[in-house]
Structure 1
Amino acid sequence: MIHETFVASDPKSAYIQAVEKYGNKIELVSAKQLKYDDGQLRCEIQVAIPEAVYIQKTMGDDTPYEKSEEALLIEEIEALKSQLSQMKETLQHDIIDNDTVISEVKALLKRKGIAEAWLDGMINGLAGSPIAEDNRLLVSYLLEEMDEALKEKPEDLSRQKVMMFVGPTGTGKTTTIAKLAARYAYLMDRPYSVALINLDSYKVGAIEQLEHYADIMQIDHVAVENVHGFKDALDHLDSYDIILVDTAGMSPYDTQKLIRTVEYVNSDALKDLEVNLVLPATVKYEDMEDIFTNFSFLNLDSVIITKFDETKHLGTLLNFMLAYDLPMSYFSIGQEVPDDLRVASKEYLLERFIGDIDAG
């Protein structure tokens, strides 16, 4: 990917410039506001452009290019490697498909949401081994591999921190924040001083909802509308152990709101910021991928998984966690505040998944 910077009076205009030049395949990397020498504020955004798109747009399709003999030889070698790899993969698939135990276990786990590519990567080489001769033994082996691959983010309250929560509309961000606030303030080995900041000026009732929770728990709550207000709020709350920041729920395709969130994340007033993606267990895999891709430029530290109570089928979620290198921090398992919240545990996730397998 090639990075390029665009400048305009506001983030949306800068992003439109980038799209007009390179199309919709670009990815937003960062956005910030700067005061130029003429005293005017302008927005700079940086986008990542696929190399092929960049070359096409800057050099044109008909640019003459003569490859060297060395380049042609390298291409031939790579093509040969690709053919050999395909032959090997075909042979492995034939062996696996003709192995009854392996094919049955693969079919079951695929039905439960685990990707065939991940299963093949784990199973290749097992054909003919004792593990592949017993269904339960093979399933146990794959569950151990899942346990090894999943990542947890330990709960660490040893230092002051600012925790920001991002994600699409309707994921349960505000309720999760209320649960965490109650946990930190009242349910730990010692009470922590907790404050809430609300950046969500879009959703009707969003400020009132968080303020209601804050009043019940007797926790300070500040609503802000811009980056300057955010900095002032952080300065005002500097003595607190933990500051929880609620952001606007948004579509992962809403460029304007995403850029505005970037401005908050890049604020020079922030010290130790943790950005947590709030993701429902009920979302289909393709949407999980889009959510992660479009929020990942916020430098995500962990994922908080909500709505465990609304599904019995966790294979899609498990498959997502296996595919992306992002640790889990908390699970929201119901609507009750603060009871239905637990520190993320891969054992809990796998136990729920095993229950689904047994049902299948």
Structure 2
Amino acid sequence: MINETFVAADPKSAYEQAVDKYGTDIKIVSAKQVKYDDDELRSEVVIAVPKALFMEKSFGTQALYTGPENEEETLLDEIGELKTQLEEMHNGLLQKGRFGTVADDVKKLFMQKGIAEQWLDSILIPLIGTTVMDDAQLLVSYLLEEIDETLKVKEEDLDHSKIMMLVGPTGVGKTTTIAKLAARYAYLLDRPYKVALINLDSYKVGAIEQLAHYADIMQIEHYSIASADAFGEKIEALSSYDIILVDTAGMSPYDTQKFVKTIEFVNTKIPKKIEVALVLAATVKYEDMEDIHENFSFLNLDSVIISKFDETKHFGTLLNFMLLYDLPMSYFSTGQEVPDDLLVASKEYLLEKFIGDVHEG
């Protein structure tokens, strides 16, 4: 894949430039606002495009049939092949039992429970030759301690007014989670906070009505917004509120159009920073994990809210996501009841769930 940058006044226009050149066979790598030398803010969208398509659109169809243009390109190709061979040799050594019988068994158990081999190897390699590697119980305890130290929690801070936008794949429970947060802030803490709800989801049938229903029950202001300009104006109008919670459309990691639209909202020019929380289901599949992070991370995530704790007994893949991508957890949604089934995130709660799963192994 080849990366190319498109610049325009807003993310949508930059993306449209990319589509005009390459069609829809592209993938967003990043999208951000950059201040140029003339002090003007512009949007830069970086897209990834297949090399053959890039060569065809940039240099014509003849470019598809040319070999390496010079010795430097040939050398880079050879280095890439050598690197691949070395990685295969390294992986082969590990698979053949480099760590010893006890450590290999412990590693296999953690991998079966969803923890990535690359993370386990990064912890185990420095322990080669130590007595820890020969004691299964001690090694399990050591790995759990490393997990505990690696996990991060975003503390609940309500000392200052804030805007919190929830994003995530379709069906993870963003709207219900927003209702729980709204009830918590407005009624369940040491003082009632002034809360407003904004809905940006114009795609899902009934999404606006669902959030409006919760808002009516809790007697909380609720607004449906369709454009970035209207969003900015509404944020200004709600400047006296303590907390503004923003619901967004559920997105497949491959739904480029919705991503571009959401980026527009995130980059709206407003005085306050928007805290972006990724709502991630505890039932996340290992195969989807990398795609979810790769796409949603470009919204400059501040934390992860984990939903659907009540729908699984296996938390290894979820834990693996938190270990690999270094994101802090902020809240856990543990059921369907509003507002009861919401907890402030804690390492202990997640580790207890995972340890129970490990003990079953």
TM-score (normalised: structure 1): 0.84
| SS of equivalent residue, structure 2 residue 107 | helix
Q: Deviations over 1:228-280 (max 9, x none)?
A: 22122112211001100011112222222211111111111351210111111
Aligned match of 1:219: 220
**Secondary structure in 2 aligned to 1:5?**
strand
Whether the 8 Å CA contact 2:97–2:104 is kept in 1: the answer is: no
Instruction: Please give the root-mean-square deviation of Cα atoms over the aligned residues, in Å.
Output: 3.1
Read off the aligned partner of 2:330 and give its amino acid letter.
S
Q: Output the CA distance in 2 between the equivalents of 1:195 and 1:139.
A: 46
Aligned-partner SS, 1:267: coil
Flag the 1:138–1:183 CA change in 2: closer, same or farther, 3 A.
same
- Indicate how the Cα distance of structure 1 residues 333 and 230 shifts in structure 2: closer, same or farther if over 3 A, else same: same
Q: Are the equivalent residues in 2 in contact too, given 1:28–1:45 (CA < 8 A)?
A: no
Give 1:177 shift.
0.5
CA distance in 2, matches of 1:78, 1:202: 43
Indicate the residue corresponding to 2:137 in structure 1: 136
- Deviation, structure 1 residue 103: 1.7
Alignment map for 1:1-360 (pairs within 5 Å): 2-5=3-6, 11=13, 13-20=16-23, 24=25, 26-30=27-31, 46-49=45-48, 56=55, 58=58, 60=63, 62=66, 65-67=69-71, 91=93, 94-96=96-98, 99-269=100-270, 271-360=272-361
Q: Pick which of 137-146 and 148-157 moved more.
A: 148-157
Q: Distance in 1 between matches of 2:174 and 2:222?
A: 16
Q: Which amino acid aligns with 2:304?
A: V
| CA distance in 2 between partners of 1:24 and 1:8 (Å) | 23
Contact 1:14–1:44 (8 Å) recurs in 2:
no
Residue 347 of structure 1 and its aligned partner are, at CA, apart by: 1.8
Equivalent-residue separation in structure 2 for 1:182 and 1:102 (angstroms): 47
C-alpha distance in structure 1 between counterparts of 2:88 and 2:29, whole Å: 35
CA gap 1:77/1:223 in 2 versus in 1, 3 angstroms: closer
Report the Cα distance in structure 1 between the residues aligned to 2:199 and 2:71, rounded to whole angstroms: 57
Deviation of 1:162 (Å): 0.6
2: CA distance between counterparts of 1:77 and 1:251? 36
Give 1:333 shift: 0.7
Query: Which residue number in structure 2 is paired with residue 36 of structure 1?
Result: none
How far apart are residue 80 of structure 1 and its match? 7.8
Separation in structure 2 between the aligned mates of residue 84 and residue 167 of structure 1, nearest angstrom: 37
* 316-325 vs 226-235, greater mean Cα deviation: 226-235
Specify whether residues 234 and 310 from structure 1 end up closer, same or farther in structure 2 by C-alpha distance, changes over 3 A only.
Answer: same
Rate the CA distance shift 1:224–1:87 in 2: closer, same or farther, 3 A.
closer
2 CA distance for matches of 1:225 and 1:219?
20
> For residues 164 and 123 of structure 1, do their structure 2 counterparts lie closer, same or farther at Cα, with a shift above 3 Å needed?
same
2:276 match: secondary structure = strand
> Using the alignment, how far apart are the partners of 2:8 and 2:87 within structure 1?
45
Cα shift at 1:15: 4.3
User: Per-residue deviation at 1:91?
Assistant: 5.0
Q: 1:313 to 1:146 in 2, by over 3 A?
A: same
In the alignment, the residues of structure 2 paired with residue 75 and residue 231 of structure 1 have an alpha-carbon distance, to the nearest angstrom, of 48
Cα distance per residue 1:272-311 (max 9 Å; x no partner):
2101111111120121221221222211111111001100
Q: Is the 8 A contact 1:105 1:138 kept in 2?
A: yes
Q: Structure 1 regions of 5+ residues with no counterpart?
A: 33-42
Shift of 1:95: 4.9
Identity within the alignment, %:
58
Q: CA deviation at 1:343?
A: 1.2
Find the residue that maps to 1:96 and give its secondary structure. Answer: coil
